[in-house]
Amino acid sequence: MTAPTDLLQLALRSLPHGPEFRFVDRLTSLEPGKTGVGEYLVRGDEYYLRGHLPGEPILPGVLLVEAGAQVAGMVAQEDPANPSLPRLKLTALRGVKIFGSARPGETLTIEATITGRLGLMVQAKVSASISGVKVMTAELTLSGTAAAGPAEGNSVS
């Protein structure tokens, strides 16, 4: 399901990361609380690519997983049946498989499906692909904490 553009933009703005640590440029679809799809263009000027295989830069596999966590967090935070989770963070990984990598100029398609929710925890299955070829799959847990204090905000991962 593709959500209205304003909902997609609102969900993307809920991502608390600064630009240097965002691995989602845009959401292409969102079914709040259930599933979402985002995209990230590996530009090539990212600071961490300078040292990750100089001369043949690739997006580190752990950042593929982070991209999945960010999309899963946005899907979970937009769930109309549940309150937003303060300080949502990536807290567990299972079955992570990295089949390939993303290079400058390639666009990742990141999919996340919420598979369960219990209290402050969210379970999700995530994947990333390039031109229809899967490069990562994982199951992960995101966890929130008790209500944030005045100086604390929400975060995903």
Let me know if 52 is a catalytic residue.
yes
Distance, CA of 110 to CA of 70 (rounded, Å): 9
What are the Cα distances from residue 20, in Å, to 10, 42, 45, 48, 107?
Answer: 19, 12, 11, 10, 17
Q: Which one is catalytic: 34, 52, 89, 103?
A: 52
Helix (H, G, I), strand (E, B) or coil at 94: strand
What are the Cα distances from residue 18, in Å, to 3, 13, 55, 129, 155?
Answer: 24, 11, 27, 24, 11
Residues labelled catalytic: 52
